[in-house]
């Protein structure tokens, strides 16, 4: 058999082999590295893979550890964990619930708004879903909300941290797309390409994030009008109304100030994402101190949690690097290029197929697993076909948000299942998120038809 064809076949089998092992429940990082090594040995025995290529791994790992942009990841995670410990989410939920309680669907609307604010100030999906599940779900059930609607709105709002900056997913994607775009442009003969940065992706993700928030709010208003029994009002007692304005100011000003400091400094070009993340981490500690919640125990818990989450993400990245080397050097790049280039519909058809693959992978894989596997394979081909890197990064981010919502392995569903009362079944949670998954597909369709939603703001800010 032709060695080139054999290498492409092995690389394709390796991709599906990894998916199969992951579905069996093997750890992601070790599956990526282990299966890739096995196929690398098979490729070596057939003469289609040179094991000396693994020599590049050491420099690649060192590059990850010394990459200044990626330093922002643990800092933003620390900021989110510290804010969760300082009870900002709890105060926001209780206050917003009172503010919108007099209208039908008010509790659902408050959950969506709080989810957006927490996404822009913490970006930690697990902590947001658990906090809102502990506080809002019992209140919504007591008020007579349809359990499916209550679960759906909590899960969907909690995952907004995947697309609304500062998102750790966007940091990794921005760093990856910057390198891929530079390589693609140099291959085309453009030796001074317009750089792509994490700040560009942050700016590009703001309007799509607000679009999702608007779609969620629109669904809640629709339910309030056409199915009022599913989301009744929860009037605030008269004696609490006179203090409501003060409560709103106290609850809203601290997170809004932190959002302005972090995102404003990045978008304004005052600070890099890493510098802004350090400001956010210190700011989160200041807010905790102002609430008399800063102690050595809390700082230790936040630090340990940050180290755990960061280690999990980076070990997946290390495993994905092994996969990327074996896949590319056995001819996987050529296989993907031929497949995407020959699809009907040209560039649009290629993007739709890649988005569909990512959407389906979201049923079984986590967000980071998907981007570390799929982006290095598909992004070079799509950018070579003329796709805007900022638009691609943002639309991938919106698409990957569904990986937290889609049954059976959506992480947001598991987070909520862990804190939901026994009378809320897993089936209710699954059925509750379906309308919000459909709303995400609507958002993707809008971004396909109006790409400027993702590209206009970065051009306007940085022009």
Half-sphere exposure in the Cβ direction for 399 (13 Å, CA)? 28
| Torsion region of 406: left, alpha or beta (phi above 0 gives left; psi -120 to 50 gives alpha) | beta
The predicted pLDDT at position 1 comes to 65
The predicted pLDDT at position 124 comes to 66
The predicted pLDDT at position 450 comes to 94
Q: What's the gap between Cα 416 and its chain centre? A: 17
The predicted pLDDT at position 151 comes to 93
The predicted pLDDT at position 193 comes to 76
Return the SS3 of 419.
Answer: helix
**Number of Cβ atoms within 10 Å of the Cβ of 95:** 20
The predicted pLDDT at position 122 comes to 64
- Each as own residue / partner, the long-range contacts of residues 18-26 (CB below 8 Å, 24 or more positions apart, any chain) are 18/323, 18/373, 19/361, 19/364, 19/365, 22/364, 22/365, 22/369, 23/364
The predicted pLDDT at position 305 comes to 87
Half-sphere exposure in the Cβ direction for 456 (13 Å, CA)? 8
441 burial (CB, 10 Å; 0-12 / 13-18 / 19+) is: middle
DSSP one-letter code for 463: -
Q: Are 170 and 393 in contact (CB under 8 A)?
A: yes
Cβ-based neighbours of 334, under 8 Å, separated by 6 or more: 4, 8
Kindly give the parts of the chain with pLDDT less than 70.
1, 122-124, 409, 463
Task: Kindly calculate the radius of gyration of the chain based on its CA atoms and give it in whole angstroms.
Answer: 23
The predicted pLDDT at position 342 comes to 81
**DSSP class per residue in 137-152:** HHHHHHTT--HHHHHH
Q: Are 389 and 106 in contact (CB under 8 A)?
A: no
What 3 state SS string does 320-338 have? HHHHHHHHHHCCHHHHHHH
Q: 């910057």: which residue's tokens?
A: 178
Q: Give the whole-angstrom CA distance, residue 310 versus residue 98.
A: 36
Q: Give the whole-angstrom CA distance, residue 113 versus residue 92.
A: 9
Q: Give the whole-angstrom CA distance, residue 146 versus residue 12.
A: 45
Half-sphere exposure in the Cβ direction for 22 (13 Å, CA)? 22
Phi, psi of 128 (to 5 degrees): -65, -45
Cβ-based neighbours of 350, under 8 Å, separated by 6 or more: 340, 341, 343, 381, 382, 385
The predicted pLDDT at position 221 comes to 94
Cβ-based neighbours of 316, under 8 Å, separated by 6 or more: 28, 29, 32, 368, 369, 372
Q: Where are the alpha helices (DSSP H) in 188-243?
A: 198-226, 238-241
The predicted pLDDT at position 146 comes to 92
Q: Which of 206, 241, 205, 181 is nearest to 376 (CA)?
A: 181
The predicted pLDDT at position 445 comes to 93
Q: Give the whole-angstrom CA distance, residue 171 versus residue 242.
A: 43
Q: Which tokens sit at 191?
A: 């030796």
Q: Which tokens sit at 70?
A: 């990626």
Return the SS3 of 268.
Answer: coil
**CA dist 92 → 116, 118, 291 (Å):** 11, 9, 14
The predicted pLDDT at position 402 comes to 82
């Amino acid at each position: 058999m032709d060695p080139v064809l054999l290498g492409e076949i092995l690389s394709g089998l390796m991709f599906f082999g990894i998916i199969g092992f992951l579905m069996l429940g093997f750890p992601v990082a070790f599956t990526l590295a282990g299966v890739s090594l096995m196929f690398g040995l098979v490729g070596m025995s057939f003469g289609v893979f040179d094991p000396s290529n693994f020599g590049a791994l050491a420099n690649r790992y060192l590059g990850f550890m010394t990459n200044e942009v990626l330093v922002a990841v643990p800092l933003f995670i620390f900021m989110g964990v510290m804010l969760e410990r300082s009870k900002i989410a709890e105060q926001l939920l209780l206050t917003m619930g009172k503010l919108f309680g007099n209208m039908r669907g008010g509790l659902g609307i408050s959950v969506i708004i709080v989810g957006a604010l927490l996404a822009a100030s913490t970006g930690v999906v697990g902590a947001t879903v658990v906090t809102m599940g502990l506080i809002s779900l019992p209140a919504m059930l007591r008020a007579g909300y349809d359990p499916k609607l209550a679960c759906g709105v909590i899960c969907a709002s909690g995952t907004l941290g995947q697309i609304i900056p500062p998102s750790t997913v966007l940091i990794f994607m921005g760093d990856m797309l910057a390198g891929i775009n530079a390589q693609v442009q140099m291959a085309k003969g453009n030796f001074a390409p317009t750089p792509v940065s994490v700040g560009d992706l942050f700016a590009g993700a703001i309007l799509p994030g607000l679009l999702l928030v608007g779609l969620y709010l629109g669904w809640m208003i629709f339910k309030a009008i056409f199915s009022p029994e599913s989301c009744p009002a929860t009037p605030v007692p008269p004696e609490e109304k006179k203090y409501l304005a003060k409560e709103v100011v106290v609850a809203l000003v601290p997170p809004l100030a932190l959002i302005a400091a972090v995102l404003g400094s990045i978008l304004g070009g005052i600070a890099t994402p890493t510098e802004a993340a350090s400001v956010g981490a210190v700011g989160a500690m200041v807010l905790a101190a102002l609430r008399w919640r800063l102690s050595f125990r809390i700082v230790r818990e936040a630090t340990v949690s940050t180290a755990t989450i960061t280690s999990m993400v980076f070990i997946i990245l290390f495993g994905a690097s092994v996969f990327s080397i074996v896949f590319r050097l056995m001819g996987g790049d050529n296989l993907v290029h031929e497949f995407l280039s020959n699809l009907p519909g040209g560039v649009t058809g290629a993007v739709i197929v890649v988005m569909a693959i990512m959407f389906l992978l979201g049923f079984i894989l986590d967000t980071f697993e998907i981007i570390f596997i799929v982006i290095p394979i598909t992004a070079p081909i799509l950018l070579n076909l003329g796709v805007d890197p900022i638009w691609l990064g943002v639309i991938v981010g919106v698409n990957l948000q569904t990986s937290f919502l889609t049954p059976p392995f959506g992480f947001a569903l598991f987070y909520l299942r862990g804190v939901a009362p026994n009378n809320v079944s897993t089936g209710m949670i699954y059925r509750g998120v379906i309308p919000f998954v459909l709303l995400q597909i609507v958002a993707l369709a809008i971004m396909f038809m109006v790409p400027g939603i993702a590209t206009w703001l970065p051009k306007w800010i940085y022009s």
